[in-house]
């Protein structure tokens, strides 16, 4: 077909000229005009109504040359310093704009934790402390579930079907007899005691677990020796306490179960390292000689070659849930666990279901953060208070109490508290989002089932944290349509202790660690989970593609 010699623009040229007389010219613009191709169809323009702008109204004018020059100068500065003066865009007088101050990070506001002394974390060792060797063989099996915490350690002993919470009051003087500071003292002659012993020749060892879980992991033999010595001393004390407290329990055969946070459990190399430490600690505890650093090094070398069969490393969060999984409260679908201890916040999102081998707990996300109650004290103290002496219960202090002690403005203390609480909420939200991406089909994301959130640890009882978690729950519902049901772990019937029911969660990890390993839920690590793939439908092949 022969192409016509005249274009549409030429045929309707007279029409365009007539319309131009009735259409107001467009305002000036810096946009680049778009060229039309002559052979492209053009829809005819509709006649526009005359402008109704009143005479006393002024159209916004194009920025002056001075303003444009100022903008170019600011953009040049931006390229060098990476910050944008938004005042240029917000108003006609940039000099009136408020400067933008970046929010300070929590660690920049908080005290240096290496300089902060918290009294409850360094309890005095008992004068009559006894650390007699443990019997390697006996008539019955006793499982020593050791919850080796970053700040405090808890333990439960399983014997003849009952589970006994270890009372540490014979080793150290603390406000809670079921919490022992994760520290020990070492004399220059090589002897070891739990807690802190004052006097010439004594040195204190703490921060033991944090050094093992540091990033990058500490490879120091001294850090490994500290851990092995502490485990051995804890087992020796517990076996002696058990023999005195319960008749007929003086000669059991001891198994040692050690726990790991969910995030560390994902790392097979860290789990293997803790099995070596547990094996070396049990070997030391069963030896007839005194606990010394040189014997710890020998036990570590032997454990690296051949780890013992009487030790097991289990994921702490699965152990913590053991009483729930065996209770009538148990539900399927997505769960979350937030354990706020003295040293760390342990977060885990996981599912609960059964297969032919028992309970299965796939981890969809896990985080361990330095957001325990001691770090809250560090935030409240700030740089000005890092050289003062603090107590463990200062985590419950209000802003005014801290202001009177430090002599600071209340706004500064409130800012540091808010920074800590924001970091706590951010850790939860990051873990939630990771879980949603890895398991997007869960009914909780569609608000068809509530997310069961278990709050555990001493930090979960602080009013400031309780109120902030309530805020997180409300925001999750408002912003993400996620209903969260905050729950408490049920106390099992075979748990032997005089502690109050609402304190059980403090030792719930140790209770799960004292179980037979085969009864603890099977954990599926994140890297072993099959990624969820969205279905794009069945692809239809073109029948002519192969011709």
User: Would you kindly state where each structural domain of the chain is located, as residue ranges?
Assistant: 118-319, 330-489
The CATH class for the domain spanning 330-489 reads alpha beta
SS3 482: coil
Cβ count within 10 A of residue 452: 20
Residue 539, both tokens: 């692809």
Residue 188, both tokens: 């220059």
Diameter of the chain measured on Cα atoms: 113
Residue with tokens 């350690």: 153
Q: Which residues contact 127 (CB under 8 A, 6 or more apart)?
A: none
Q: What is the Cα–Cα distance from 539 to 225, expressed in whole angstroms?
A: 60
Q: What is the Cα–Cα distance from 451 to 484, expressed in whole angstroms?
A: 5
- Give 477-543 as a DSSP string: HHHH---EEEE-PPPPTTEE--S-GGGGGGGHHHHHHTS-GGGSPEEE-GGGSPPP-----PPPPPT
C-alpha 398 chain-centroid distance: 24
Tell me the C-alpha to C-alpha distance, in Å, between residue 160 and each of 140, 249, 494, 515: 8, 10, 10, 12
- Give 375-392 as a DSSP string: HHHHHHHTGGGTTSEE-G
CA-based nearest residue to 375, from 339, 341, 410, 413: 341
Is 264:368 a contact under the CB 8 Å cutoff? yes
Residue 85, both tokens: 């003066």
Averages of pLDDT over runs of 10 residues in the chain (547 residues) are 48 48 52 46 46 48 66 54 34 37 74 84 77 77 93 93 94 88 91 90 88 64 93 95 79 89 70 92 92 94 88 88 87 90 88 78 85 95 93 92 94 96 95 92 92 93 95 95 93 92 93 91 63 39 43
Paired sense of beta strands 333-340 and 311-315, if any: unpaired
Residues 10, 13, 14, CA angle at the centre, nearest 5°?
140
What is the pLDDT at residue 453? 95
What is the pLDDT at residue 122? 62
Q: What is the Cα–Cα distance from 520 to 261, expressed in whole angstroms?
A: 15
Residue 453, both tokens: 């959130």
Is 425:106 a contact under the CB 8 Å cutoff? no
What is the pLDDT at residue 107? 87
DSSP conformation class of 173:
-
Axis crossing angle, helix 293-305 with helix 268-286, rounded to the nearest 10: 130
């Amino acid at each position: 077909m022969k192409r016509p010699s005249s274009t549409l623009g030429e045929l309707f040229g007279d029409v365009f000229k007539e319309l131009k007389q009735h259409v107001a010219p467009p305002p000036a613009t810096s946009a680049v005009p778009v060229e039309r191709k002559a052979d492209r169809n053009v829809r005819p323009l509709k006649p526009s109504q005359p402008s109704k702008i009143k005479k006393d109204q002024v159209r916004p004018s194009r920025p002056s040359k001075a303003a444009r020059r100022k903008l170019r100068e600011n953009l040049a500065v931006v390229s060098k310093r990476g910050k944008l003066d938004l005042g240029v865009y917000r108003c006609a007088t940039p000099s009136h704009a408020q400067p933008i101050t970046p929010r300070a990070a929590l660690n920049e506001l908080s005290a240096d934790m290496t300089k902060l002394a918290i009294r409850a974390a360094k309890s005095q060792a008992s004068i009559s402390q006894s650390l007699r060797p443990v019997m390697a063989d006996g008539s019955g099996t006793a499982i020593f579930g050791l919850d080796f915490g970053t700040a405090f350690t808890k333990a439960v002993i399983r014997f003849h079907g009952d589970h006994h919470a270890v009372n540490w009051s014979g080793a150290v003087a603390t406000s809670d007899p079921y919490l022992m500071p994760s520290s020990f003292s070492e004399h220059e002659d090589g002897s070891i005691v739990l807690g802190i012993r004052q006097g010439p020749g004594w040195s204190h060892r703490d921060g033991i677990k944090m050094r093992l879980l540091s990033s990058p992991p500490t490879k120091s033999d001294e850090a490994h020796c500290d851990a092995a010595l502490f485990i051995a001393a804890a087992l020796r004390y517990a076996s002696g306490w058990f023999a005195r407290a319960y008749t007929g329990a003086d000669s059991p055969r001891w198994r040692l179960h050690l726990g790991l946070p969910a995030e560390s459990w994902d790392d097979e190399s860290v789990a293997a390292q803790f099995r070596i430490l547990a094996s070396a600690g049990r070997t030391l505890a069963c030896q007839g000689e005194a606990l010394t650093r040189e014997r710890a090094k020998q036990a570590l070398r032997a454990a690296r070659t051949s780890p013992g069969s009487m030790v097991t490393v289990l994921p702490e969060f699965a152990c913590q849930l053991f009483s729930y999984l065996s209770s009538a409260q148990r539900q399927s679908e997505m769960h979350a666990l937030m354990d706020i201890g003295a040293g760390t916040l342990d977060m885990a999102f996981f599912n609960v279901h059964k297969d032919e081998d028992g309970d299965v707990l796939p981890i969809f996300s896990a985080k361990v953060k330095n957001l325990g109650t001691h770090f809250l004290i560090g935030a409240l103290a700030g740089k000005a208070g890092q050289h003062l002496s603090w107590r463990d219960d200062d985590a419950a202090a209000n802003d005014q109490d801290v202001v009177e002690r430090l002599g600071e403005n209340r706004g500064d203390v409130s800012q540091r508290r808010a920074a800590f609480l924001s970091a706590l909420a951010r850790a939860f939200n990051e873990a939630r989002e990771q879980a949603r991406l890895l398991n997007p089909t869960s009914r909780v994301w569609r608000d068809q089932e509530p997310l069961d959130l278990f709050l555990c640890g001493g930090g979960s009882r602080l009013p400031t944290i309780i109120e902030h978690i309530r805020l997180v729950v409300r925001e999750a519902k408002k912003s993400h349509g996620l209903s969260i049901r905050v729950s408490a772990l049920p106390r099992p019937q075979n748990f032997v202790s005089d502690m109050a029911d609402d304190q059980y969660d403090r030792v719930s990890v140790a209770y799960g660690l004292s179980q037979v390993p085969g009864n603890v839920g099977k954990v599926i690590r994140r890297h072993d989970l099959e990624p969820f793939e969205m279905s794009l439908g069945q692809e239809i092949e073109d029948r002519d593609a192969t011709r």
